[in-house]
Structure 1
Amino acid sequence: MTLRNFFTFGVLAASLAACATSPLGRQQFLLLPANQVDEMGVTAYAQMKEENPLSSSEQQTAYVRCVATAITSTLDDSQQWEINLFQDDSANAFALPGGKIGVNTGLLKVANNQSQLATVIGHEIGHVQAQHSNERMSLQYATQGGMQVLGALAGADSAAKQGVLAALGVGAQYGLTLPFSRKHEAEADIIGLQLMAQAGFDPRESVSLWQNMSAANGEEPPEFMSTHPSNSTRINGLEARIPEVMPLYNQAKAAGRNPQCG
């Protein structure tokens, strides 16, 4: 076998090994081991806590942790989740591989009740459940060079580091996978609806949450949603899916899952 043929065979074998399926049945290309992506998420989260202040409000922090824990406790895994409230006026939240969740205080001004907050947290956990970070980084790994991607978080701020942070869901906007990112958003919306419903949060409040977002930000989506679907597109998509998840919500209530997070 020639060197060229060996290389071609290796790439083909890696591609076949990387085939996976999302929770909604979509075919995925995942090159990186899940535990490696988890380590990246943990590293990025630690850096964020060093660089961004946490909220001093014990009441608000307990509220956010109550909502997030109600969702994570229903997940079929043994992951221990760390949940923190960051002092930041932007209406933002994120979840990272490795069991890390962050909510900004600004989101609490838009999410008017526990089910609306659960809409966003469920959506962000949906990204983790569907391994969207791995998918984004696998593309970077294949097109930009593996070692550059894997070592980016440990280095100084650079385009490679920003790319990895963006792939994890906490970095600046980048253009390479913009259409694909919208596909991820739609998938995370559906998974998030399922997660909040099975935790006992009213999925119908997801529409109200995005109506609030639209009112707060006019025609443009929030800055952190710059690569996401428009508010009207997202609301229409959620409304179409709510009848599918209402049985999960009713089953949760019948089973005694009735979060009282304030």
Structure 2
Amino acid sequence: MKKIVLIFTAGLLLYSCTTVPLTGRKSLSMVSNEEIQPLVNEEYKKAITANKNVTNTADGQRVVRVGQKMAKAVEAYLVAEGFQSLANDMSWEFNLLESDQINAWCMPGGKVAFYTGILPVTKDEAGIAVVMGHEIAHAVASHAGERMSNGMLLNGLLGGFSAAMGQNPTMMQQILLQGVGAGSQLGMLSFSRKHELEADEMGLIFMAMAGYDPRQAPAFWQRMAAAGGGAPPEFLSTHPGPDRRIERLNANIPKAMKYYKQ
């Protein structure tokens, strides 16, 4: 019986692999964006009503402007590279929420939330683009879906997303929130760090595609590392150390500069 389960699981993993744009990494995908979008929409609505929405302010419109500019560039890239279905999955939305949290996140489908607490660290549109590129990369790489897939696998939920929602909707909600950095952690930090480094690499290129200088990224992360004082901001809580992150960013800047047109 155990052998049959192992064979079934191995076949499921092989069948459920997808390719991440730009990096080419193979990732586990037991859920589709279409399946999880109703849950995403519900949780995003909760999130943007839990705090005062200040998207109509000058700062809010700056976040929206950067987001829309980057979304346009990313969609153009996806279409050109044969990821039309992924581009079709994107239904972009950008909101600025009033909160002291030094944080931002993006749910599947391009549902982005920035907190006002991160704006002093971003300083300008280039800094916003660093964060925006990183968060958009999570959505493009389907990191939340991959984390949900791993969470389902770890908890023996092999019957698909709908079956998992029927068996344990609370757990699926928690896995989604953890997957986008908007909820409690579920013991998957090492897995998360892999995604963070991939999002850094992709985000650097995405900001360059949108016309923002990728050389501004290391300076932003230096400011971010200093912003927490004795403890790291929430935005860094599951992320690689700043020295490693900045080293990797500097190594990837030449690649990103190929997409940067001044």
Measured against the shorter chain, the TM-score band is: 0.7 to 0.9
Deviations 1:180-238 (A, max 9, x none): 11110000000000100000001011111111112222364312321111111111111
1:154-165 → structure 2 map (5 Å cutoff): 161-165=173-177
Q: How far apart are the structure 2 equivalents of 1:242 and 1:220?
A: 28
SS at 1:94's partner residue? strand
**Deviation at 1:8?**
5.4
1:29-48 → structure 2 map (5 Å cutoff): 29-48=28-47
- Partner residue, 2:119: 108
- Aligned residue pairs: how many? 245
Q: Choose which of 13, 16, 28 in structure 1 pairs with 2:14.
A: 16
For the 8 Å contact 1:122–1:192, the answer to whether it is kept is yes
1:1-262 → structure 2 map (5 Å cutoff): 10-23=8-21, 24-55=23-54, 58-74=57-73, 75=75, 76=78, 77-78=87-88, 79-146=90-157, 149-150=164-165, 161-175=173-187, 177-218=188-229, 220-250=231-261, 253=262
For the 8 Å contact 1:182–1:228, the answer to whether it is kept is yes
Structure with max Cα Rg:
1
Counterpart amino acid of 1:143? Answer: L
Q: Among the aligned pairs, what percent are the same residue?
A: 36
Q: How far apart are the structure 1 equivalents of 2:48 and 2:156?
A: 29
Q: How far apart are the structure 2 equivalents of 1:60 and 1:48?
A: 19
The worse-fitting range, judged by mean Cα deviation, of 26-35 and 48-57 is 48-57
**Deviation at 1:243?**
1.3
Counterpart amino acid of 1:189? Answer: D
SS at 1:95's partner residue? strand
SS at 1:73's partner residue? helix
Q: How far apart are the structure 2 equivalents of 1:90 and 1:153?
A: 30
Shift in alpha-carbon separation, 1:49–1:152, aligned structure 2, 3 A: farther
For the 8 Å contact 1:39–1:98, the answer to whether it is kept is no
Gaps of 5+ in 2: 79-86
Counterpart amino acid of 1:11? Answer: T
Counterpart amino acid of 2:153? Answer: A
Counterpart amino acid of 1:192? Answer: G
When the two structures are superposed, what TM-score results if normalisation uses the length of structure 1?
0.85
For the 8 Å contact 2:213–2:260, the answer to whether it is kept is yes
**RMSD of aligned residue pairs (Cα, Å):** 2.3
Gaps of 5+ in 1: 254-262
Shift in alpha-carbon separation, 1:71–1:180, aligned structure 2, 3 A: same
For the 8 Å contact 2:96–2:114, the answer to whether it is kept is yes
Q: How far apart are the structure 2 equivalents of 1:56 and 1:136?
A: 29
The worse-fitting range, judged by mean Cα deviation, of 31-40 and 85-94 is 31-40
The worse-fitting range, judged by mean Cα deviation, of 223-232 and 101-110 is 223-232
For the 8 Å contact 1:162–1:171, the answer to whether it is kept is yes
Counterpart amino acid of 2:16? Answer: A
- Partner residue, 1:256: none
Q: How far apart are the structure 2 equivalents of 1:19 and 1:212?
A: 37
The worse-fitting range, judged by mean Cα deviation, of 125-134 and 24-33 is 24-33
The worse-fitting range, judged by mean Cα deviation, of 39-48 and 111-120 is 39-48
Deviations 1:13-56 (A, max 9, x none): 32221022222121211111221133332221011123222127
Deviations 1:99-130 (A, max 9, x none): 21100011111111111110001000101111
